[in-house]
């Protein structure tokens, strides 16, 4: 997640802000609960192990313009290509260095109604960025691979993205949306963002930007008996911002960064009050040991639930 105060750029859509709410079910029902898969947290953690190894082999980070970033992208692209996705690597320039976005489309579904899930893949230069944001990157990767393993045939078209240079101010996602023709922007029913979903002292925060998308995530956690709160710490600080600025419905999940967990939140979720949700936020200690497995598991399952529900899988 980008630090507070970074500039946000624009995005687009002729789709009305209520399009996701109007065109998809937003409450849990027995059929959706049965259809949505249980995402293997072991598989998600295996992806994080790979991202940690990549960082270790490339100067300790996976930052924009550094070799660890491109190696991370190549790892994810290889998995998606083997699973049958159509992948596209887009280039942009930031700070004098070439950056890359990876876009993956699952064949089929109504391409006039796109359910789009994304996460930033870059770390800061200070460390490997395993929670921020290997966690979101791995969560959507395993969801995408599960779509392929199940041979899912969703009603809507599923698209996934791994963004570059988010830590420089959402540069990659902004570049993508600004260069997407308006006719294609109008086809995006909703964009779902996942940035830091395995914080070691976690909270369970749901974006409240679009009521329809928000209700899908809240239904999932309610069914699990996990209370949620509205996400405020990351407002305007991650890759949903460029999409929202252009009128596209957005939603997502977050488990907390450098804000402090209150006593009330610790009573509700466990963990340690008076301590940051992620004490290693933007630090060298954001390694593969800086992950809460339960939060990672729950949030990965919630990603799949939303993709299956909103996508009509």
Name the 3-class secondary structure at 250.
strand
Q: Terminus-to-terminus CA distance in the chain, angstroms?
A: 29
- DSSP-assigned beta bridge partners for residue 92: 99
Whole-angstrom distance, CA of residue 170 vs CA of residue 193: 12
List the catalytic residue out of 166, 167, 214, 231.
166
167, 205, 200, 206: which is closest to 278 by C-alpha?
200
**Strand-pair partners of 104:** 87, 160
Rounded to whole angstroms, the Cα distance separating 45 from 52 reads: 10
Residues 6+ apart with CB under 8 A from 273: 261, 262, 263, 265, 266
Catalytic, 166? Answer yes
Instruction: Give the span between the Cα atoms of 220 and 247, in whole angstroms.
Output: 25
Residues with catalytic function: 166
């Amino acid at each position: 997640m980008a630090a507070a105060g970074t500039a946000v750029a624009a995005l687009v859509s002729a789709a009305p802000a209520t399009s996701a709410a109007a065109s998809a079910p937003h409450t849990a029902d027995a059929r959706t609960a049965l259809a949505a898969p249980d995402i293997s947290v072991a598989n998600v953690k295996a992806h994080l192990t790979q991202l940690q190894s990549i960082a270790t082999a490339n100067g300790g980070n996976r930052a924009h313009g550094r070799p660890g970033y491109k190696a991370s992208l190549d790892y994810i692209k290889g998995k998606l290509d083997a699973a049958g996705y159509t992948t596209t690597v887009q280039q942009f320039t930031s700070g004098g260095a070439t950056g890359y976005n990876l876009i993956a489309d699952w064949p089929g579904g109504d391409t006039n109604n796109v359910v789009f899930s994304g996460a930033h893949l870059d770390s800061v230069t200070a460390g490997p960025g395993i929670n921020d944001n290997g966690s979101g990157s791995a969560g959507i990767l395993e969801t995408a691979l599960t779509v392929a393993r199940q041979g899912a045939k969703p009603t809507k078209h599923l698209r996934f993205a791994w963004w570059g240079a988010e830590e420089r101010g959402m540069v990659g996602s902004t570049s993508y949306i600004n260069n997407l023709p308006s006719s294609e922007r109008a086809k995006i029913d909703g964009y779902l963002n996942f940035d830091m979903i395995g914080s070691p002292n976690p909270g369970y925060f749901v974006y409240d930007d679009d009521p329809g998308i928000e209700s899908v995530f809240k239904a999932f956690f309610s069914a699990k008996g996990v209370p949620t709160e509205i996400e405020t710490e990351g407002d305007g600080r991650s890759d949903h911002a460029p999409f929202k600025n252009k009128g596209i419905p957005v939603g997502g999940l977050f488990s907390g960064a450098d804000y402090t967990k209150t006593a009330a939140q610790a009573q509700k979720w466990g963990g340690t009050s008076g301590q940051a949700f992620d004490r290693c936020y933007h630090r060298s200690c954001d390694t593969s040991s800086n992950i809460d497995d339960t939060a990672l598991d729950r949030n990965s399952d919630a990603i799949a639930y939303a993709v299956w529900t909103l996508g009509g899988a």
